[in-house]
Amino acid sequence: MTEPTREYTLVTSPRDGIVPVIVDATGLRDLVDQLDRTAPVAVDAERAQSYRYSARAYLIQLRQVGCGTHLIDPVALAGRQPLADLHELGDALVDSEWVLHAASQDLPCLAEVGLVPHHLFDTEMAGRLLNLPKVSLSPMLSQFLGIELAKEHSMDDWSRRPLLENSLAYAALDVDYLIELRDAVAQALDQQGKLSWAEQEFEDTLTRFAVPPVQDAEHWRGMKGMTHVRHPRQLAVAHSLWQVRDELAQRLDINPGRILSDTQLTDAVLVLAALAPGQVMATLPTIDGFGGNYAKRHRSLWASAIEDALQMRACQLPKAHPSSETPPPRFWNQLKQTAARRWEVARPAVITIAKEHEVPVENLMTVATLATLLWPDDLDMTEAGLRRAMTKAQVRSWQQDLTAPTLASVLQDQ
């Protein structure tokens, strides 16, 4: 039997129309005075990471029932300072539940300007725990509220000024129905017995992401295509190229991929790492990506960094993975057979549990977390021992309750 086609209401403009953007301290104080200090508040931030190096917020949207939608320009409020100071606004909402969609993406840039929630509801995380096929904002609004948003401006450069009226309408729509969505998905979570799971996830998200962004020294290892870069000399060249690109991007305040994409960079590594010192400058112009304006203009920087990597002594070369990290399970057969056997029974068990409870396996236990648990030689494979290890690895109580008994059983039987 074919399911009836559901009709959606297309929403193309915000409920309150285009509201003035808050650009000065007076406007910010007026907003603080209007807020309900305890009512839920929908929050969103627009960044420009497709265009800029930084992950700062270039527009912040708030909506509260009875108070309406407000748009804040943190660039204008910053004036000549590097960042705006919105602590007063954050303090006014300290007792409110903040409703965000994909909170982990926005919390760091909000914290950077003094906006740190104490109570969170993440509608995207809720959608994941409900095992929805699509968890971006628009399909979730369609599924729960029958609303289809006009989303023509998702790729706008929010760092440009002035902000255009159509862009501001798009931004306002991101918070217009977020509180109603929160109520609908909370009801669905409660019906499935997953509300307490979600609350634990929200608390974990606050702990890990409601802080200003910090540069990860090993971030370069996460570039696309790095699975093909395995030998120490190749890793050294990759690191050198990444550093040059990152320094240029930061200095010019542009997205690193606009200088050289990850794929172009990692593809270049395989060629450059095979060269003899002295061949780099002549070879660079022939490699895809190095003919672009940014890459070409700074060719001597690339060449110098690569030459340094090619001449490193063996003891200076990067390791396949940081010594402080657990190696990826795909290498375990060569590194540690006991851990490999544990993985062979534990990973399928986790996948089965996820299917039984209708939750994505990555939200039940990620590959990295499970690997961290299974790698140690002194692993205590009792349920109590596994729970202690899980707690240390920041595995939440609901995840422990679902996985620890089964993992203890399969690990002790293998």
Q: How far apart are CA 361 and CA 357, in angstroms?
A: 10
Tell me which amino acid residue 411 is: L
Please, are residues 178 and 124 in contact by the beta-carbon 8 Å criterion? Answer: no
Measured at the CA of 92, the angle between CA 89 and CA 96, to 5 degrees, comes to: 115
Phi-psi region of 292 (alpha: psi -120 to 50; beta: other; left: phi over 0): beta
Give the DSSP letter string of 289-357.
TTTSHHHHHTHHHHHHHHHHHHT--GGGSPPSS-TTSPPPGGGHHHH-HHHHHHHHHHHHHHHHHHHHT
Give the DSSP letter string of 15-37.
TT-SPPEE-SHHHHHHHHHHS-S
Measured at the CA of 61, the angle between CA 165 and CA 68, to 5 degrees, comes to: 90
Name the residue among 321, 346, 347 with its Cα closest to residue 335. Answer: 321
pLDDT at residue 3 in the model: 43
Q: Please, is 145 exposed, middle or buried when counting C-beta atoms within 10 Å of its C-beta (0-12, 13-18, 19+)?
A: middle
Measured at the CA of 155, the angle between CA 31 and CA 295, to 5 degrees, comes to: 120
Looking at the DSSP bridge assignments, the partners of residue 45 are 60
> What's the 3-state SS for 219-239?
HHHHCCCHHHCCCHHHHHHHH
pLDDT at residue 413 in the model: 82
Other CB atoms closer than 10 Å to residue 330's CB: what's the count? 11
Q: How far apart are CA 206 and CA 120, in angstroms?
A: 7
Which structural domains are found in the chain, ordered by start? 9-209 (3.30.420.10), 219-316 (1.10.150.80), 329-413 (1.10.150.80)
pLDDT at residue 325 in the model: 77
Q: How far apart are CA 344 and CA 411, in angstroms?
A: 10
pLDDT at residue 2 in the model: 41
In whole angstroms, what separates CA 93 from the centre of its chain?
24
pLDDT at residue 4 in the model: 46
Long-range contacts of 155-161 (CB under 8 A, 24+ apart): 155/50, 156/46, 157/48, 157/50, 157/51, 158/46, 158/47, 158/48, 158/58, 158/59, 159/48, 159/51, 159/52, 159/58, 159/75, 161/75
Three-state DSSP state, 129: helix
Q: Which residues contact 126 (CB under 8 A, 6 or more apart)?
A: 182, 185, 186, 188, 189, 198
pLDDT at residue 333 in the model: 94
Q: pLDDT 10s digit of each residue in the chain, 414 long?
A: 344 456 788 888 999 888 999 999 999 999 999 999 999 999 999 999 999 999 999 999 999 999 999 999 999 999 999 999 999 999 999 999 999 999 999 999 999 999 999 999 999 999 999 999 999 999 999 999 999 987 666 678 999 999 999 999 999 999 999 999 999 999 999 999 999 999 999 999 999 999 988 888 888 998 999 988 989 999 999 999 999 999 999 999 999 999 999 999 999 999 999 998 889 999 999 999 998 888 888 999 999 999 999 999 999 999 877 766 788 899 899 999 999 999 999 999 999 999 999 999 999 999 999 999 999 999 999 999 999 999 999 999 999 999 999 999 999 987
Three-state DSSP state, 196: helix
CA distances from 154 to 88, 105, 179 (A): 29, 15, 21
pLDDT at residue 5 in the model: 52
Q: Which two tokens stand for residue 300?
A: 């001597």
The stretches of 13-163 forming alpha helices (DSSP H) are: 25-34, 74-78, 87-92, 103-112, 123-129, 137-145
pLDDT digits (tens, 9 = 90+) for 86-126: 999 999 999 999 999 999 999 999 999 999 999 999 999 99
Q: How far apart are CA 88 and CA 30, in angstroms?
A: 12
Helix axis angle, 178-191 relative to 165-176, nearest 10°?
30
Backbone angles phi, psi at 44, to 5 degrees: -150, 160
The helix/strand count (H/E) of the chain reads as 20, 8
